[in-house]
A and B are shown apart, each in its own frame.
Chain A
């Protein structure tokens, strides 16, 4: 929690009241590997800031196959923003890929916080902008990079994650088959 507060303070001033409010609307939680924090089809009321571990958001398509949208490691946020924004059931499942610690926020209370403490506006805008940048970058990468380039970038973005997750998680994040991923790895080893 202190780290999150520090992170906010690095971007803006934080009044003691605002800091106290953040503490009041958040809960530290630890989940075991395999735990589902959000489940496709159910209501979403929480958003999570990761302090330790690895989480993944994914959806099942109509054929039952998983597609990974995002991995979240230390200092990343994860939730189902489509569901929250549209007030609809979750389109994604968020699961822990290893034992993970998070700070859990109630999304309604976060919204209230912006009304109560307008001082959060720059931090919120900054967080959102970075989120949009990373999404746009991901879309552009998907459109124009080769599978091998996408994989290299993945390793850069998520260092040390590979040992902790399964190949099909990575393949389904990159939008390539597991066979392609294996081939790319073999090629990479030769380089």
Chain B
């Protein structure tokens, strides 16, 4: 089968290639998916560039991408929750990475039936960003009438988080640049802050939750806007101590300033690792079918133009997700 593979770390155009590889075989708990569409996320680009070598070292060649939608064409003998012919979507686990291919095997508990009211392309755009947003906001215990600041409401994770928080009945502040203000408002955000002309810190104050999708200074600044006893969840900031311990970094300490800010505000800081989860995708399916959440696609590329899709991703200019139609 045809697959887009990472052949080495380096520039996108030099490090990705189409290869003919053998079709994967199902293990007991796997489903084999005929891929209809895949989507790429910032992590896919970072993997090619070698930025994640320490955390997620690759063996070359390695088929790229995690997000997928398609049709189940075979199931392992331990699978009872899916049938051949099911239309599904998934964020595949790390060890099964490789959705930019004609077929992919996925452990059944990372898979869900896809929403019935959207296309394969739209469905493929959801899993990674959707699971990241859902798991972050659920960790923060989001509930009705909470005030939340979501950074970068126009990003893949941010745009999903805005809609998810609204569906939960929260009051949503979000930041974005001038060009994106209007469509981010359409996602339902209560107060869209144009960071080019406004100071978000003077607008979003005493919030219950900050969802940090930007990192750098924003992680620390989160504690300036969060209320006493609030929560800061981050997907790009420094690791928190318990997450670091999970990775075997026993001596890891939270950066001093962040630890102090967190303690001064008695506000919990948590780094969220998205984990593949079919049950969560099933929850998202219902929300999409009930139109509480929409997929936002920047562009759909044919499989043959996957490398151009990566270049577009790397440009950082996409408004919404970049999807690749496989078949």
B-contacting residues of A (Cβ < 8 Å)? Answer: 39-42, 58, 60, 63-66, 166-168, 171-172, 178-179, 182
A60 to B121 alpha-carbon distance, docked (Å): 14
A42 to B69 alpha-carbon distance, docked (Å): 21
A167 CB contact (under 8 Å) in B83, B114, B123, B291: B291
A167 to B291 alpha-carbon distance, docked (Å): 9
Q: Are B116 and A182 touching (Cβ within 8 A)?
A: no
Contacts of A178 in B (CB 8 A): 117, 291
Q: A65-B116, A168-B291, A172-B117 are in contact. Are A41 and B87 (CB under 8 A)?
A: no
Q: Are A39 and B85 touching (Cβ within 8 A)?
A: yes
Contacts of B121 in A (CB 8 A): 63
> B53 at interface (Cβ–Cβ under 8 A)?
no
Q: Are B85 and A65 touching (Cβ within 8 A)?
A: no
B316 CB to nearest chain A CB (Å): 29
Return the chain B residue nearest A36 by Cβ: B83
Q: Are B290 and A166 touching (Cβ within 8 A)?
A: yes
> B145 at interface (Cβ–Cβ under 8 A)?
no
> B91 at interface (Cβ–Cβ under 8 A)?
no
A107 to B232 alpha-carbon distance, docked (Å): 61
Q: What are 28 A-B pairs at a CB distance below 8 A?
A: A39-B83, A39-B85, A40-B85, A41-B85, A42-B85, A58-B116, A60-B116, A63-B121, A64-B36, A64-B87, A64-B118, A64-B119, A64-B120, A64-B123, A65-B117, A65-B119, A66-B117, A166-B289, A166-B290, A168-B116, A168-B117, A168-B289, A168-B290, A171-B117, A172-B116, A172-B117, A179-B291, A182-B291
B25 CB to nearest chain A CB (Å): 23
Contacts of B118 in A (CB 8 A): 64-65
Contacts of A63 in B (CB 8 A): 119-121
Contacts of A182 in B (CB 8 A): 291
Interface centre among B114, B117, B119, B289 (most CB of A within 10 A): B117
Within 8 A of A (CB), among B36-92: 36, 69, 83, 85, 87
A180 CB to nearest chain B CB (Å): 12
Q: Please count the residue pairs between chain A and chain B whose beta carbons lie under 8 angstroms apart in the complex.
A: 41
A154 to B253 alpha-carbon distance, docked (Å): 62
B290 CB to nearest chain A CB (Å): 6
How many residues of B are counted as interface, with CB atoms below 8 angstroms from the partner's CB atoms?
16
Return the chain A residue nearest B36 by Cβ: A64
Return the chain A residue nearest B88 by Cβ: A64
A115 CB to nearest chain B CB (Å): 34
A172 to B87 alpha-carbon distance, docked (Å): 17
Pairs of residues from A and B, 8 with the lowest C-beta to C-beta distance, nearest first: A168-B117, A64-B120, A66-B116, A63-B119, A41-B85, A178-B291, A168-B289, A64-B119
A61 CB to nearest chain B CB (Å): 9
A168 to B114 alpha-carbon distance, docked (Å): 14
Return the chain B residue nearest A34 by Cβ: B113
A64 to B118 alpha-carbon distance, docked (Å): 7
Q: Are A64 and B114 touching (Cβ within 8 A)?
A: yes
Return the chain A residue nearest B121 by Cβ: A63
Return the chain A residue nearest B124 by Cβ: A64
Encoded as 1 (CB less than 8 Å from any A CB) or 0, chain B from 102 to 128 comes to 000000000000101111110100000
B12 CB to nearest chain A CB (Å): 28
Q: A172-B117, A178-B117 are in contact. Are A64 and B291 (CB under 8 A)?
A: no
B164 CB to nearest chain A CB (Å): 18
Q: Are A60 and B87 touching (Cβ within 8 A)?
A: yes
A168 to B290 alpha-carbon distance, docked (Å): 7
B126 CB to nearest chain A CB (Å): 13
A172 to B69 alpha-carbon distance, docked (Å): 21
Contacts of A168 in B (CB 8 A): 116-117, 289-291
A65 to B121 alpha-carbon distance, docked (Å): 10
A101 to B174 alpha-carbon distance, docked (Å): 49
Q: Are A167 and B290 touching (Cβ within 8 A)?
A: yes
Return the chain B residue nearest A60 by Cβ: B87
A143 to B64 alpha-carbon distance, docked (Å): 46
Contacts of A65 in B (CB 8 A): 116-119
A168 to B123 alpha-carbon distance, docked (Å): 15
A74 to B290 alpha-carbon distance, docked (Å): 26
Within 8 A of A (CB), among B277-320: 289-291
Contacts of A179 in B (CB 8 A): 291
B215 CB to nearest chain A CB (Å): 35
